[in-house]
């Protein structure tokens, strides 16, 4: 176990508190502040946005002593270069971009203490496409309609409703003197099994019965390539054309994160965190909640295969993960009860 960068907490006193934040030296290609999403406004056409990989975000937030929903930084590669303006406790996870602080490697899923003035860099894309930075106390940014998530369409939330730019300062909370969140890690059993060619489990959608058995065979037994035309709104998949037995003119209704729509050309699109609220294409299936993080870490050129499960199994897997998070939260709370 490499313990580099993991040091005892040192308290510097109040003079350090005046200017606190993460200074963005290089913004990276697409870095935004997100939380778990903005809810209650879908009926106005305002989509939840939020992080692509909720499992990573929640695990990292719990690890550094935050609430699950505290704002984190979602980074794509090339990732930003960030200077910590004050001491902080942080953790990285999701994609592995080969991070280092002042040249010392930083592992994913571990919490570290970073001194004021140290620099976080990412050298190489090793696995996955979205890396998360959680900081003890959460990122202090603009909320819009009850959420810190950046909505690029509405240009609200996060840092002025936009992606990071050079010179931005992202506010952080003062580090409590009793902070003992550094030097901990998430147990391996909780970390999603990210890989560039995952099999993700799906449940049937409303128009699932449009598919005949050859279509179903394609859906379940073929690989689908994540095309270049993929982003936070949705992943367009390239694969064998699915030609349903009947066509159906559909009027628009709500769609969801993980909804798999069948386009008129027989190709599939998987709706992701930034999806529009409504859609009019057949919803043949949905990625189950538990496996959304696996697909959320894919990028152009990666592949995915689908495996049908039933609804009760999908619910069971979701509840199982919630239970595991609860246990993690309880153990975190026990070990970190502040001394009085």
Q: Which stretch binds another protein (CB under 8 A): 210-218, 228-236, 239-247, 274-282?
A: 274-282
Map residues 71-110 to x or -, x wherever contact with another protein holds by CB under 8 A. ----------------------------------------
Q: Does residue number 334 form part of the binding site for another protein (CB under 8 A)?
A: no
DSSP string, 127-171: EEEEEEEEETT-EE-B-BTTB---BTTTTBSBBTTB---TT-EEE
- Locate 99 and state its tokens: 């991070």
Q: How near is the Cβ of 272 to another protein at its closest, in Å?
A: 13
Whether the CB-CB separation of 216 and 320 falls below 8 Å is answered with no
| Nearest distance from C-beta of residue 207 to another protein, angstroms | 9
Q: Report, in Å, the least distance between residue 82 CB and another protein.
A: 28
Length of the chain: 340
Q: Quick check: 311 binds another protein (CB under 8 A)?
A: yes
Q: Which position among 23, 145, 173, 190 is part of the footprint of another protein (CB under 8 A)?
A: 145
Choice from 3, 17, 40, 247 touching another protein (CB under 8 A): 40
**Interface positions, 150-169, toward another protein (CB under 8 A):** 151, 153-156
Residues 187, 331: Cα–Cα separation, whole Å: 12
Q: Is 39 in the site for another protein (CB under 8 A)?
A: yes
CB atoms within 10 A of CB 152: 17
- Collapsing DSSP to helix, strand or coil, 176 comes out as coil
CB 25 within 8 A of CB 169: no
The Cβ of residue 110 has, within 10 Å, a number of other Cβ atoms equal to 22
Q: Which residue in 248, 264, 265, 338 binds another protein (CB under 8 A)? A: 248
Least CB distance to another protein at residue 317 (A): 8
Determine if 199 is a binding residue for another protein (CB under 8 A).
Answer: no
Cis before 135? omega within 30: no
> Judged by CB, which is closer to another protein: 137, or 192?
192
User: How far is residue 250's CA from residue 188's CA, in Å, rounded to a whole number?
Assistant: 44
Q: Does residue 256 interact with another protein by CB under 8 A?
A: yes
Could you say which DSSP state residue 60 is in? H
Cβ within 8 Å of residue 261, ≥6 positions away: 255, 268, 269, 271, 279, 281, 282, 283, 284
**Considering the rule CB under 8 A, would residue 43 count as an interface residue with another protein?**
yes
With a CB cutoff of 8 Å and minimum separation 6, the contacts of 248 are 207, 210, 282
Tell me how far apart the alpha carbons of residues 129 and 53 are, in angstroms, rounded to a whole number: 10
CA angle, 305 then 308 then 311, to 5°:
140
Residue from 223, 227, 276, 305 that binds another protein (CB under 8 A)? 276
Residue 245 engages another protein in binding (rule: CB under 8 A): no
**146 binds another protein per the rule CB under 8 A:** no
> What are 258's two structure tokens?
């993980």
Smallest separation (angstroms) from another protein to the CB of 161 = 8
Q: Single out the segment in contact with another protein by CB under 8 A; choices: 72-80, 118-126, 133-141, 314-322.
A: 314-322
Phi-psi region of 335 (alpha: psi -120 to 50; beta: other; left: phi over 0): alpha
Comparing CB distances to another protein, the nearer of 323 and 335 is 323
Task: Report how many residues bind another protein under the rule CB under 8 A.
Answer: 46
> For residues 16 and 31, what is the distance between their CA atoms, to the nearest angstrom?
27
For position 23 contacting another protein by CB under 8 A, the verdict is no
Candidates 229, 253, 331, 336; binder of another protein (CB under 8 A) is 253
Out of 97, 122, 144, 181, which residue is the one contacting another protein (CB under 8 A)? 144
Residue ranges binding another protein (CB under 8 A): 39-46, 144-145, 151, 153-156, 203-206, 248-259, 276-278, 283, 286-289, 311-312, 314-315, 318-319, 322
């Amino acid at each position: 176990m490499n313990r580099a960068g993991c040091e005892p907490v040192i308290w510097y006193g109040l003079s350090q508190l005046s200017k606190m934040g993460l200074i963005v030296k290089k913004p990276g290609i697409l870095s935004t502040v997100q939380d778990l999403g903005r809810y209650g406004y879908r009926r106005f056409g305002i989509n939840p946005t939020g992080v692509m990989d909720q499992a990573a975000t929640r695990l990292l937030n719990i690890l550094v002593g935050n609430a699950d929903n505290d704002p984190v930084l979602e980074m794509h590669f090339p990732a930003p270069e960030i200077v910590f303006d004050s001491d902080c406790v942080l953790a990285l996870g999701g994609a592995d971009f080969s991070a280092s602080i002042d040249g010392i490697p930083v592992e994913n899923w571990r919490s570290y203490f970073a001194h004021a003035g140290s620099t976080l860099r990412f050298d190489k894309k090793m696995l996955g496409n979205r890396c998360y930075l959680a900081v003890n106390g959460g990122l202090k940014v603009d909320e819009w309609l009850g959420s810190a998530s950046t909505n690029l369409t509405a240009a609200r939330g996060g840092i002025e409703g936009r992606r990071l730019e050079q010179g931005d300062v992202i506010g952080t909370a003062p580090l409590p003197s009793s902070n003992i969140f550094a030097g901990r890690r998430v147990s391996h059993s909780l970390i999603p099994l990210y890989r560039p060619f995952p099999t993700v489990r799906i449940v049937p959608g409303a128009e699932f019965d449009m598919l005949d058995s050859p279509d179903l065979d394609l859906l379940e037994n073929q690989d689908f390539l994540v095309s270049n035309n993929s982003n936070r709104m949705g992943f367009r998949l390239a694969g064998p054309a699915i030609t349903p037995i009947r066509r159906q003119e559909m009027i628009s209704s709500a769609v969801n994160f993980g909804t798999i729509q069948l386009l008129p050309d027989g190709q599939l699109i998987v709706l992701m965190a930034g999806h529009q609220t409504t859609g009019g294409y057949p919803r043949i299936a949905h990625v189950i909640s538990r496996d959304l993080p696996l697909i959320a870490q894919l990028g152009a050129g990666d592949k995915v295969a689908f495996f049908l499960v039933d609804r009760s199994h999908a619910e069971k897997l979701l509840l199982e993960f919630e239970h595991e998070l609860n246990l993690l939260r309880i153990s975190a709370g026990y070990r970190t009860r502040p001394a009085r």
